[in-house]
Structure 1
Amino acid sequence: MSWYTSVFGKRACAAVVTATSLTLMLGGCTSYDRYSAEDARKDAKEGAALTPGAVDCAKARCIALTFDAGPSAYTPQLLDTLKKEKVHATFFLLGRDHVVEHPDLVRRIADEGHEVANHTWSHKILTELDADGVREELTRTQEAVEKITGHRPTLMRPPQGRTDDRVSEVSRELGLAQIMWSATAKDYSTNDSALIEKRILDQADKDGIILLHDIYRGTVPAVPGIIETLKERGYTFVTVPELLAPGVAEPGKVYKP
């Protein structure tokens, strides 16, 4: 079992959702305000408009496909699938052993129109770190991605979805919004592609954010079926920024469907 599988195999924070906040019940987590894609669109600055030709997710049935912890040896096959299906995704990249080991893949992800985002340097649980530790985990990946692509990410996903006021403050300082998810296959626990596909299809909904990992053997083969079925159901695939448009993800805020 890899260190990553072991980490992800631990129970994530239990969530109790109210109209205004998500309360995380596991030690080290605190309550925080969460914002939806609809909130972001409503909060768009006066005069903000969609890019010409962009899908209007206030009207369309949009869903965002996201991948954590890559790139890996499975990522080229995934990129081939996304290119064939004309789908753009959001990749939350892990710095150590991934970004630095696969610069050509990071460059390809960006060049093919996908959103490049931050999943920390070494997948440490950010709520267990002091401010300097959080800053280092995020900054090192920011710098590594910028060195390869010429651009710094504006989105990040905290490992296991664990965040608190300190993490939010450092994220705000670094210009990073926090992006959670609404559908997960728990693909760290199975290589059964059919099961991964079913779990995502069962949870898919408008304005949803799908969480998968392009580092596990069973995940990438499940993607074509997920895309085909959701397209048949009338969904349009978008990146996270496109999901929020014409709103913009604000640094430090937590966005969760």
Structure 2
Amino acid sequence: MPWNISRLGSRTAGTLVAVASLGLMVGGCTSYDTYSAADVRNGAEDGVKIKAGVKAEAGAVDCGKAKCIALTFDAGPCEHTPRLLDILKKEKVPATFFLLGKNHVDRYPDLVRRIADEGHEVANHTWSHQILTDRSSAEVREELSRTQNAIEKLTGRKPTLMRPPQGRTDNDVSDVSRELGLAQIMWSTTAKDYSTTDSALIEERTLDQADRDGVILLHDIYDGTVPAVPGIIGELKRRGYTFVTVPQLMAPGRAEPGKVYKP
């Protein structure tokens, strides 16, 4: 039965996520094509090259040359988000926030505005964290469009990126995402912060998996995550990484709606 993390304590939610993730691994997965940030930058999707003369915006990071990595946070905003935003502002680090609608976007509208106003990428993580591959196309459309509309009402802009709960997607989800103008973004690094409140462990797991063009998955809804962020940022900067949003990671290319992107 689908569950809603918004109504669960962090320990209970973490247990359920871990069990669900294990079920995904042992139960098999749907086959679909994926594309990397380098594919998008090089115009390699479907063999189509970016037209000559297309350049990144002035002042933008060239991730074809720089050692870039994207920090992403799922399922907020929440009571921990202000502290996280303070950290990111102090460190001058942009991030991508995949926001959950029910009990989050609708509960913390000022935080949604702040995330956007401070230059972070605002993205879609569905309305109530339903497993989209278990839903009809109409239900998938409702889960995504409701969050799209709520975010647009607060920020004036609809997201162009989404992350399916637990990373589960299929052709039907891709079709609806394409219809709504949403590219699907997966990840390369997970600290499994749903399973622990140990900030040092979250930091260690993240740093062990970090790599160029990587996409780090964290959740600001869990108690141990935000305290781990300063250490993660500090060490990755020391290693020569430049932090970017997911769209900046792909620039001057752009993620195409409906397609699945995975480092």
- Fold match, TM over 0.5? yes
Which residue identity does 2:262 align to in structure 1?
K
Alignment of 1:1-257 (within 5 A): 2=9, 4-12=13-21, 26=27, 29-43=29-43, 45-46=50-51, 47-257=53-263
The one-letter amino acid paired with 1:26 is G
Counterpart CA distance in 2 for 1:75 and 1:169 is 32
Residue segments in structure 1 that go unaligned for 5+ positions in a row: 16-23
The structure with the greater share of residues assigned to strand is 1
Structure-2 separation of matches of 1:14 and 1:56: 39
Provide the alpha-carbon RMSD of the alignment. 1.6
State the distance in 1 between where 2:16 and 2:258 align. 24
- Cα offset for 1:91? 0.1
Q: Aligned partners of 2:42, 2:16: CA distance in 1, in Å? A: 36
Ranges of 4+ aligned residues in structure 1 off by more than 4 Å: none
Tell me if structure 2 keeps the 8 A contact 1:13–1:160. Answer: no
Which letter maps to 1:230? L
Q: How many residues align?
A: 248
C-alpha distance in 2 between matches for 1:126 and 1:139:
13
The 2-side partners of 1:42 and 1:84 are apart by 33
Q: 1:87 to 1:177 in 2, by over 3 A?
A: same
1:9 CA drift (Å)? 2.3
CA deviation vs aligned residue, 1:99-122 (integer Å, no higher than 9, x gap): 000000000000000000000000
Structure 2: 5+ residue runs without aligned partners? Answer: 1-7, 44-48
Cα shift readout 1:67-100 (whole Å, capped 9, x = no counterpart): 0000000000000000000000000000000000
Alpha-carbon deviation of 1:49?
Answer: 1.1
1:156 maps to a residue whose letter is M
8 Å Cα contact 1:13/1:162 also seen in 2: no
